[in-house]
Amino acid sequence: MTASRSRGRRLAVITAGVALSVSLVPAAAPAQTPAEYARVPDAPAARGVVERQVLAISLDGFNPRLLKKLGRDGAPNLLRLFRTGASTRNARSQVEMTVTLPNHTSQLTGRRIDATEGGHGVIWNDDNPGRPDTIQEAAGEDVESIFTQVDAAGGSTALFATESKFALFKNSWPDAVDRSTILQDRDHDVTVAVKRDLLRRNRDFTFLHLGALDEAGHDKGWLSRSYLKAGRLIDAQIGILLRTIKDHARLDDLVIVLTADHGGPPGQKGHSVVTDVENYRIPFLVWGPGVDNGDLYEMNPTYGDPGEARIEFAGTQPIRNGDLANLCANLLGLGPVPDSLWGFDQTLTWTN
Ligand SMILES: [Zn+2]
């Protein structure tokens, strides 16, 4: 790209950003900034409006053992994130289920699964006819999310995924998900779409789901040669995004939050047994400007490294994929998602 084309594109984006903030900030609250507007009254003390973008990435079926199996030759980009960010390879999926759609719904809502206990109620994992059209229908009540939280603050969001069942999220929050792009099983194409979107729009929050690991696991087994090959492909997609961030100053403020919905047992082709550590153990990572390097459990003494244990709802909690929504809200200077559970106090920090 030539310098002049680069400048032209950036100018166009800034112009679009101004138009966005003028049109979306509620006129009734002229003294408030967009971020303050969305804070719920009982949110933690004001922490200031943060000029930041968040890219949340969920690698479907990512058993953290993959990193050691691939090493720096096979996963240079993922390992760079883990080497320089705040991370753990011992976070947890949801308690009730270790399958894809319920766990992604928890990532986005901060809720547990069981609707009779205040959860989101998404207990299916396909998009067959007869399923509820929305999460609200599944829960039997209004359900908010990181998307609605950002939207209420006048921000912009996008969802990119490789499974058609992820249409549930745009269906559930049609006004708050500004863009939903689903390209079935096309991890590279969806990554390129994210890259272009980051460069052309001022997204506050982007969610990316990549499914190649899960596909290979179901086909040939977790940690099989086919799974490791998918891992190298996934790493290359992460590399595309990291190079994009490095090459474009307008993405200097972008923070990546990366986790998974579930893992999978070596040699097996399923991951639904909730008592198997290989299914419920997942990675969790925060990376970018202002994020310290180190172990997330050492940074967060109110959370507890669970070892191999399966922790339910009582006692000291591990870091979970369901912490994603309220962590991302916090990164953006926003209060917690109303009626969420995981990380509602927003104490989960990315600094020492
Ligand atoms: Zn999955």
- DSSP-assigned letters across all residues of 102-137: HHHHHHHH---S-GGGT-------S--TTS-SSHHH
d(CA 76, CA 56): 19
| Residue-wise pLDDT tens digits, 273-306 | 999 999 999 999 999 999 999 999 999 999 999 9
| Average pLDDT rounded to a whole number, residues 197-208 | 97
Report whether pLDDT(9) > 70. no
Q: Using an 8 Å Cβ cutoff, are 190 and 208 in contact?
A: yes
Distances (CA, A) of 319 to 60, 61, 296, 346: 18, 17, 8, 12
Ligand 1 centroid to Cα of residue 322, in Å, is 14
Which amino acid type is present at position 94? Q
Nearest by Cα to 120 from 347, 341, 348, 343: 341
| Residue-wise pLDDT tens digits, 211-233 | 999 999 999 999 999 999 999 99
Locate the domains of the chain by residue range.
Answer: 53-331
- Model pTM greater than 0.85? yes
Residues flanking ion ligand 1, Cβ below 5 Å: 60-61, 100, 214, 261
Enter the DSSP assignment of 69. H
Ligand 1 centroid to Cα of residue 264, in Å, is 9
Report whether pLDDT(30) > 70. no
Question: Domain spanning 53-331 has what CATH number?
Answer: 3.40.720.10
Ligand 1 centroid to Cα of residue 195, in Å, is 23
